[in-house]
């Protein structure tokens, strides 16, 4: 758990390096937190099911891996990555200024 908080802290300091403020920044924070919570919940649920039933659900894990490597998921990550770029430093992501 301590390692997870270190990773989260590192990710947040990396986001801090970008010149982006206001609602867009909080939207990205919210997205990252919600995404990490969903992934953690799935993994916790998967382990809980494994412990209680003794059955390793490879189908569920395979579907999960398929989902997080899917085109739409990667596109969403790419979109939020582009939303962090603010080269002129006015607080509005350059992608939204177009
Ligand atoms: Ca800008």
User: What tokens were used for 88?
Assistant: 């002129």
Provide the residue range defining the domain that includes 53.
Answer: 2-87
- 55 in a structural domain: yes
- 10 in a structural domain: yes
- 58 in a structural domain: yes
Query: Is 75 within 8 Å of 6 (Cβ atoms)?
Result: no
- 94 in a structural domain: no
Predicted structure pTM score: 0.59
CA of 82 to the centre of ligand 1 (A): 11
pLDDT at 49: 94
pLDDT in tens, 34-50: 988 999 999 999 999 99
- 14 in a structural domain: yes
Q: Which residues contact 87 (CB under 8 A, 6 or more apart)?
A: 19, 94
Count of domains observed in the chain:
1
CA of 62 to the centre of ligand 1 (A): 40
- 67 in a structural domain: yes
CA of 87 to the centre of ligand 1 (A): 6
pLDDT at 80: 77
Query: Is 84 within 8 Å of 18 (Cβ atoms)?
Result: yes
- 97 in a structural domain: no
- 98 in a structural domain: no
């Amino acid at each position: 758990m301590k390692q997870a908080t270190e990773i989260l802290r590192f990710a947040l300091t990396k986001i801090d390096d970008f010149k982006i403020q206001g609602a867009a920044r909080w939207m990205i924070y919210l997205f990252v937190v919600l995404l990490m919570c969903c992934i953690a919940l799935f993994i916790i649920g998967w382990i809980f099911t494994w412990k209680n039933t003794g059955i390793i659900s490879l189908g569920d894990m395979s579907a999960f891996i398929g989902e997080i490597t899917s085109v739409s998921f990667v596109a969403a990550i790419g979109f939020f990555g582009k939303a962090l770029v603010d080269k002129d430093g006015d607080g509005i992501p350059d992608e939204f200024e177009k």
